[in-house]
Amino acid sequence: MANASKVIIGLQNPKSPTNVGGVMRAAGCYRADEVRYTGKRYALAAQHRGEQYNTDTKRVSQHIPLNGVESLLDSLDADTKVICVDLVEGATPLPAFSHPQKAIYLFGPEDGTLDQGLIDSADEVVYVPTVGCMNLASSVNVLLYDRLAKGEHLSGDDLIRASRDTNNRVKVKA
């Protein structure tokens, strides 16, 4: 199936297990296929901070791979578009962007920005038009929601029942 949708999230040198856990939860909610990251900061922080900072409460990492890689762009299918998401001059605002079927969305570290080399190799560079910058996990959530909102998606009460917390049985008054 050559045109099948595929979504990869690429994180350049993330530092926080809290944010990577939030990214994993977003990946699960919006059905991303993989999350990959570069650098050593995340693995080191996760090793020393342990479960105390785990925000992947749905244990998405058991179903969606979280892979440490040397390069975010290695081993991509030829038809995968490289989309950088960052506050970069000349970028396209996310509301005006059309998502490709197959994409890797690249995000910079919480305390920095994407390398110029990644920006230069991108098929598109987009930004979320906010006043100020969001944290990494929030940015991934907004990007993936935008992709869902602009494409085909599941909806209805069956999805709500399957997705909500076990303590939620609230219904809209008929």
pLDDT of residue 142: 97
pLDDT of residue 52: 44
DSSP class of 50 = G
- Candidates 159, 157, 136, 154; CA nearest to 25 is 136
pLDDT of residue 59: 56
Mean local confidence (pLDDT), 136-148: 96
Please tell me the distance from the alpha carbon of residue 136 to that of residue 2, in angstroms, as a whole number: 31
Let me know: does 125 contact 119? Beta carbons within 8 Å. yes
pLDDT of residue 1: 44
Please tell me the distance from the alpha carbon of residue 174 to that of residue 172, in angstroms, as a whole number: 6
First to last CA, the chain: 43
pLDDT of residue 55: 54
Collapsed DSSP state (helix, strand, coil) of residue 45: helix
Residue 31 Rama label (left phi>0; alpha psi -120 to 50; beta): left
- Candidates 74, 72, 76, 67; CA nearest to 43 is 67
**Is residue 48 predicted with pLDDT exceeding 80?**
no
**Is residue 124 predicted with pLDDT exceeding 70?**
yes
Q: Say which residue, 164 or 129, is predicted with more confidence.
A: 129
Residues 6+ apart with CB under 8 A from 76: 8, 82, 104
pLDDT-derived band at 163 (thresholds 50, 70, 90) equals: low
Report for 18-22, 39-43, 66-70: range of highest mean pLDDT: 66-70
- Chain-wide mean pLDDT for the chain? 87
Q: Say which residue, 129 or 42, is predicted with more confidence.
A: 129
pLDDT of residue 77: 96
pLDDT tens digits for range 51-101: 544 555 555 666 789 999 999 999 999 999 999 999 999 999 999 999 999
Please tell me the distance from the alpha carbon of residue 26 to that of residue 32, in angstroms, as a whole number: 8
Report for 40-44, 68-72, 154-158: range of highest mean pLDDT: 68-72
Instruction: Indicate the pTM of the whole model.
Output: 0.86
